[in-house]
Amino acid sequence: MGTGMGCPSIGIYSYELIHFYGVKNLIRVGTAGALSPKCRVRDMVIGMGACTTSNYVRLFGLPGDYSCIASFELLEKAVAAARELGITYHVGNVLSSDMFYAPDKQVSGGMTWSDMGVLAVEMEAAALYSNAAAAGANALCICTISDSAITGEVTTAEERQKTFTDMMKVALALA
């Protein structure tokens, strides 16, 4: 099913799937932008963790910062499926950003997400992982790199529509 874009949107859908329909395993497939030179356009990224610029996670009212992480059970199965299918993949942190078209500005002398090992930017994993954790469900984000902040390479809408199927094959292998 579609979940819309961003933490608030997937937050609503994942909450309802878990609490109203009893869903125990939630897998997000979608696109992401490469932040790491390791990730090339069309590579698959499996989000082990999700950093975020969103306020979504803070709204749980925890007494500190929550680390949004995937279900190890789903992560382990996804990696095994990707290996078996011979798919190029990377596992690590993704950034769930609230901005689709973020400015290129950075505070002088500050660290970048890439400096911290973050592989790619997307918009939903942090909320998905947080909702799943709060409800005792499993969640995983699997993305295909559609563009690169490193190389400037981008894919067309038609390419994204017709050729980004590896992440779906891996997700279906988890069923």
Residues 149 and 99 sit within 8 Å (Cβ to Cβ): no
172: nearest Cα among 49, 50, 71, 85: 85
* 40 contacts 157 by C-beta, under 8 angstroms: no
Phi, psi of 54 (to 5 degrees): -80, 155
98 is catalytic: no
Q: Who contacts 101 (Cβ-Cβ below 8 Å, separation ≥6)?
A: none
42 dihedral zone (left: phi>0; alpha: psi -120 to 50; beta): left
Alpha helices in 6-101 (DSSP H): 7-21, 72-85
Q: Which of 104, 115, 147, 166 is catalytic?
A: 147
Q: Just list the catalytic residues.
A: 147
